[in-house]
């Protein structure tokens, strides 16, 4: 700040507090709604203060879900989301680390060709090629499975690029020293590259976990079996009912939003690093 | 493209390392994209018994189809609205937070978490607070004499999806604007201040021009977000309605293909979307090169 103006500070705080309040508002309403008794939300006026039925709503949602909407218990759906998100994250990180290692530390034929092949995936979001991709997964008999949920989303140009950029900044001497000491490529990768990349891996982990957790269209299409329903699509099923039970829907929304929000809040530094570096 | 000066020898190892990534890319990216291209040139008869090669007819039909042209213009309105709204709010927040010293990190924490919320959940949240019969916002609007109904009114529905989409994107824009603002040298602002420039004048003549690389970058990212990542918002709220007024292109590809089962047309739409993504990605990358030199 260049000069001190008390009224400007006051004004700035006011703007920020209003802004933060508006950003929090939808989630606050969800919290309030999730603590109301079943009929309370339908009386026409939405209460603005939390009710007293929070624990029972969350317990009901956690243990039994909404069977009329074909929506399994939230505990099950959260677990499915977690498995899918972890599979996508770990898968993306492993294949990207390996291919970046190959591209930076080896000279081989068609290196540029492979580099561009990976680059192209950046340009094909799943929403755009949704029907042919669905057909491929159906032909491979991967519908209604965790493999079908995660593997098609694993290829990632951004992670490969990020690791490539990072490997390029690692001093040449590392490799020279390793080779003088007789380390082979895999030993170099395991004992030198991986430990050096820990921060980058963690930052990308945060971003990709959120990406995986928030997948919506893909699970919606390829799973029909409630055993594989993820929480985000389970909520859509509950809202699609004739008369949605909003107090339970909102309890599920809060539970679905909590894991990724907590990840961001507790790993904010890594999150910001991951976000700014993947978009470079 | 450069490698290290010294590399490992190895004939098969690099291919083995690349194999997982390349195989997945070929099966789930290149092959489906090729299929989309191929199907976009075919037309199935009503019973799905015969397919005939029709050349570019699917594309010609699309551009003569009022519904598709409508979807294009709806997408433009939606993308521009979302980008403008979320970037304006984010810039206001970022430049205000940037003034703060002690409270900066608290405000940042309070503003970044919506990034974690899935677009589909953002849709459900905003759908709920704008619900015409039980939502809180229509109740308040009623008091000032406006009858909100996104089930009948196309403009209400559009406003709703723009709000939901922009809300989720504020945190992203905020972080990039804040980083951009922090890289502006304080000495410039101090010099201007000594010359008597007011805070507004300093913002418009120094801060805003220096932020322009960040702004352009964010504009491209936001348009990409609004066009391709907002499927969940549309699907959980308006489902393209009322009367196609929020039927954006990605939603239409899905609806025509899976609900309408019009594969040729849906494939042609996929191809057009791919062309749009490629163009936007190229713009983004060309721009980033300039940003580095800047």
Chain segment B22-73, per-residue pLDDT in tens: 999 899 888 888 888 888 888 776 666 677 787 788 888 888 888 899 999 9
Encode pLDDT of B148-158 as tens digits.
888 888 899 99
Tell me the C-alpha distance between B244 and B239, whole Å. 9
**pLDDT of amino acid B288:** 61
Tell me the C-alpha distance between B22 and B30, whole Å. 10
Whether B266 contacts B272, CB under 8 Å: no
Show me where the domains of chain A are located: 73-232+250-278
- Provide ipTM, 2 decimals: 0.88
Q: Which residues contact B161 (CB under 8 A, 6 or more apart)?
A: B78, B123, B230, B233, B234, B237, B238, B246
Tell me the C-alpha distance between B222 and B84, whole Å. 9
CATH assignment of the domain containing B211: 1.10.3720.10
Nearest residue in A to B285, CA atom: A280
**Cα B260-B262-B268 angle, rounded to 5 deg:** 130
Residue B230 lies in a domain: yes
User: Phi and psi of B54, rounded to 5°?
Assistant: -120, 10
Using a CB-CB cut-off of 8 Å, the residues of chain B touching A96 are 21
pLDDT band at B81 (very low <50, low <70, confident <90, very high): very high
- b/e burial code for range A139-166 (CB count within 10 A of at least 16 → b): eeebbebeebbbbbbbbbbbbbbbbbeb
Mutate to test the interface with A, among B8, B88, B195 (most CBs of A within 10 A): B8
Tell me the C-alpha distance between A115 and A121, whole Å. 11
Could you tell me whether strands B42-44 and B51-53 are parallel, antiparallel, or unpaired per DSSP bridges? antiparallel
Tell me the C-alpha distance between A77 and A229, whole Å. 6
- Residue with token string 């895999």: A186
Residues B6-19, mean pLDDT to the nearest whole number: 85
Whether B8 contacts A112, CB under 8 Å: no
Is A216–B109 a contact, with Cβ atoms under 8 angstroms apart? no
Is B26 in a helix, a strand, or coil? helix
Helices assigned H by DSSP within chain B: 13-25, 31-39, 57-64, 66-99, 104-112, 119-129, 136-143, 154-182, 186-194, 199-202, 208-228, 231-236, 249-254, 263-293
pLDDT band at A190 (very low <50, low <70, confident <90, very high): very high
- Residue with token string 């980058």: A200
Encode pLDDT of A86-122 as tens digits.
999 999 999 999 999 998 888 888 888 888 888 777 7
Residue B47 lies in a domain: no
Cβ-count burial of B64 within 10 angstroms (0-12 exposed, 13-18 middle, 19+ buried)?
A: exposed
End-to-end CA distance of chain B: 22
Whether B220 contacts B277, CB under 8 Å: no
Question: Domain span at residue B146?
Answer: 66-259+272-293
Using a CB-CB cut-off of 8 Å, the residues of chain A touching B1 are 111-112, 115
Using a CB-CB cut-off of 8 Å, the residues of chain B touching A1 are 99, 101
Whether A120 contacts B24, CB under 8 Å: no
- Residue with token string 């997408």: B75
Residue B24 lies in a domain: no
- Work out the number of other CB atoms within 10 angstroms of the CB of residue A207: 25
For the cut 80, the answer to whether the pLDDT of residue B286 exceeds it is no
Q: Which residues contact A38 (CB under 8 A, 6 or more apart)?
A: A245, A247
User: For the packed helices B154-182 and B66-99, what is the interaxial angle rounded to 10 degrees?
Assistant: 40
Alpha carbon distances (Å) from A157 to A93, A122, A127, A248, B174: 11, 6, 17, 39, 25
Tell me the C-alpha distance between A133 and A140, whole Å. 11
Among the partner-chain residues A99, A132, A276, the one whose CB lies closest to the CB of B17 is A99
User: Phi and psi of B59, rounded to 5°?
Assistant: -70, -45
For the cut 70, the answer to whether the pLDDT of residue B3 exceeds it is no
Query: H or E stretch including A149?
Result: helix A146-150
For the cut 80, the answer to whether the pLDDT of residue A267 exceeds it is yes
Nearest residue in A to B20, CA atom: A95
Nearest residue in A to B25, CA atom: A155
How high does pLDDT run on average in chain A? 86
Using a CB-CB cut-off of 8 Å, the residues of chain B touching A216 are 118-120, 231-232, 235
- Chain B contacts in chain A segment 198-237 (CB below 8 A): 210, 213-217, 220-221, 232-233, 235-236
Bridge partners, residue A212, by sequence: none
Would you state the structure tokens that stand for residue B111, as one six-digit string?
């503003």
- Work out the number of other CB atoms within 10 angstroms of the CB of residue A14: 11
Tell me the C-alpha distance between A238 and A256, whole Å. 13
CATH number of A73-232+250-278: 1.10.3720.10
Residue B27 lies in a domain: no
Total number of domains in chain B = 1
Nearest residue in B to A104, CA atom: B3
Would you state the structure tokens that stand for residue B71, as one six-digit string?
């979807």
- Work out the number of other CB atoms within 10 angstroms of the CB of residue A27: 20
């Amino acid at each position: 700040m260049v000069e001190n103006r008390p009224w400007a500070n006051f004004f700035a705080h006011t703007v920020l507090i209003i802004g933060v309040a508006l950003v929090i508002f939808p989630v606050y309403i969800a919290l309030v709604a999730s603590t109301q008794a079943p009929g309370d939300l339908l009386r026409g006026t939405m209460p603005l203060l939390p009710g007293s039925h929070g624990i029972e709503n969350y317990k009901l949602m956690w243990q039994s879900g909404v069977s009329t909407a074909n929506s399994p218990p939230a505990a099950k759906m959260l677990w499915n989301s977690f498995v899918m998100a972890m599979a996508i994250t770990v898968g993306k990180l492993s294949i990207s680390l390996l291919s970046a290692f190959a591209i930076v530390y080896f000279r081989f034929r068609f290196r540029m060709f492979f580099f561009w092949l990976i680059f192209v995936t950046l340009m094909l979001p799943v929403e755009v090629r949704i029907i042919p991709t669905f057909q491929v997964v159906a032909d491979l008999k991967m519908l209604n499975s965790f493999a079908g949920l995660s593997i098609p989303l694993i290829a990632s140009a951004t992670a490969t690029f990020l690791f490539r950029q990072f490997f390029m900044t690692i001093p040449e001497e590392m490799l020279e020293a390793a080779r003088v000491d007789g380390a082979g490529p895999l030993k170099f990768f395991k004992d030198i590259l991986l430990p050096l990349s820990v921060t980058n891996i963690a930052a990308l982990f945060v971003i990709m976990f959120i990406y995986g957790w928030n997948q919506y269209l893909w699970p919606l299409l390829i799973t029909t079996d409630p055993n594989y329903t993820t929480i985000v699509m389970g909520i859509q099923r509950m809202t699609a009912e004739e008369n949605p039970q909003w107090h339970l829907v909102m309890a599920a929304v809060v539970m679905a939003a909590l894991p990724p929000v907590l990840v961001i809040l507790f790993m904010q530094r890594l999150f910001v690093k991951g976000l700014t570096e993947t978009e470079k | 493209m450069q490698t290290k000066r010294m590399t490992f020898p190895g004939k098969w190892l690099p291919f083995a390392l690349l194999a997982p990534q390349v195989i997945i890319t070929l099966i789930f990216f290149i092959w489906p994209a090729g299929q989309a291209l191929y199907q976009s040139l075919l037309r199935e008869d009503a019973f799905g018994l015969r397919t005939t090669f029709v050349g570019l007819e699917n594309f010609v039909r699309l551009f003569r189809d009022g519904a598709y042209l409508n979807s294009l213009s709806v997408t433009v309105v939606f993308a521009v609205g979302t980008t403008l709204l979320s970037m304006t709010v984010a810039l206001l927040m970022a430049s205000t937070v940037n003034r703060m010293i002690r409270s900066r990190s608290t405000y940042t924490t309070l503003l970044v978490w919506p990034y974690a919320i899935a677009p589909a959940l953002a849709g459900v949240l905003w759908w709920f607070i704008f619900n015409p019969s039980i939502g809180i916002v229509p109740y308040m609007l009623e008091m000032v004499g406006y009858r909100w109904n996104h089930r009948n009114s196309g403009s209400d529905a559009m406003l709703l999806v723009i709000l939901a989409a922009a809300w989720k994107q504020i945190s992203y824009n905020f972080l990039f604007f804040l980083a951009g603002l922090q890289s502006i040298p304080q000495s410039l602002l101090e010099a201007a201040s000594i010359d008597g420039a007011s805070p507004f004048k300093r913002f418009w003549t120094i801060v805003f021009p220096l932020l322009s690389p960040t702004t352009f970058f964010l504009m491209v990212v936001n348009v990409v977000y609004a066009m391709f990542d907002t499927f969940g918002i549309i699907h959980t709220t308006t489902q393209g309605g009322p009367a196609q007024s929020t039927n954006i292109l990605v939603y239409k590809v899905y609806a025509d293909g899976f609900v309408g089962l019009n594969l040729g047309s849906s494939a042609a739409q996929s191809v057009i979307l791919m062309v749009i993504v490629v163009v936007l990605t190229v713009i983004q990358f060309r721009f980033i090169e300039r940003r580095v030199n800047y």
